[in-house]
């Protein structure tokens, strides 16, 4: 890989509006997952949240115990300007790998694929340590080969399973039936429970 995927890299992507991943609103797989949650008190983290439309949707659905973290300030400010009441302490400017707290639920969307693949084991370990006992990691992972030298980095079922299976119970790991159009046929929906 030629690029270092550090804060400067992501900051530049936002400054230059090179944000092809940005769906502009909550995506259907995450929306439909949120729609079947009953308890609005659950403590939720969205890592590498970007413009965080999922956090905005959760907020509007009555979930208030939501935390978002991103390494770049601009998208966090965008969320704040869309939801001025969103508490500052729940908008975390920082590195996911340095975060210390615990959550009931963590939502994944285009964060795993944005990281250098050599961080995958560290991602799984950090997810494990950020979840409360029986906490869940839910969301989408791309289903295309890991061939590119830049994000989004792909993966396949076996590769993902070998990473998560040892420390998570696989509640759901299936072809995503309700992806947004550009991602149709290219995503898994996952629901993993901390063992």
Residues that bind ligand SAM (CB under 6 A): 10, 21-22, 47-51, 69-72, 75, 95-97, 109-111, 114
Please say which residue, 4 or 38, places its beta carbon nearer to ligand SAM.
Answer: 4
Which residue's C-beta sits nearest to ligand SAM?
50
Smallest distance from ligand SAM to CB 21, Å: 4
Please say which residue, 29 or 75, places its beta carbon nearer to ligand SAM.
Answer: 75
Please say which residue, 148 or 195, places its beta carbon nearer to ligand SAM.
Answer: 148
Please say which residue, 61 or 169, places its beta carbon nearer to ligand SAM.
Answer: 61
Smallest distance from ligand SAM to CB 33, Å: 14
Smallest distance from ligand SAM to CB 164, Å: 19
Give the 3-state DSSP-derived string for the chain, with helices as H, strands as E and coil as C.
CCCCCCHHHHHHHHHCCCCCCCCCCCCHHHHHHHHCCCCCCCCEEEECCCCCHHHHHHHHCCCCCEEEEECCHHHHHHHHHHCCCCCHHHEEECCHHHCCCCEEEEEECCCHHHCCHHHHHHHHHHHHHHEEEEEEEEEEEECECCCCCCCCCCECHHHHHHHHCCCEEEEEEEECCCCCHHHCCCEEEEEEEEC
């Amino acid at each position: 890989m030629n690029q270092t995927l550090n804060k400067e890299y992501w900051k530049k992507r936002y400054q230059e509006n090179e944000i092809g991943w940005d769906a502009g609103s909550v995506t259907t797989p995450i929306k439909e997952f949120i729609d079947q949650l009953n308890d609005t008190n659950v403590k939720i983290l969205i890592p590498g949240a970007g413009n965080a439309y999922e956090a905005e949707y959760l907020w509007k659905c009555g979930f208030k115990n939501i935390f978002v973290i991103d390494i770049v300030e601009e998208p966090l400010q965008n969320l704040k300007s869309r939801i001025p009441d969103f508490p500052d302490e729940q908008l975390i400017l920082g590195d996911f790998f340095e975060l210390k707290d615990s959550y009931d639920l963590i939502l994944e969307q285009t964060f795993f694929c944005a990281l250098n693949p050599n961080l995958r084991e560290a991602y799984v370990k950090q997810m494990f340590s950020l979840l409360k006992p029986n906490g869940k990691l839910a969301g989408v992972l791309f289903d295309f080969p890991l061939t590119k030298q830049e994000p989004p980095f792909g993966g396949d079922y076996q590769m993902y399973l070998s990473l998560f299976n040892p420390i998570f119970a696989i509640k759901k790991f299936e072809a995503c039936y309700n992806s947004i159009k550009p991602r149709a046929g290219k995503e898994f929906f996952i629901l993993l429970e901390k063992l």
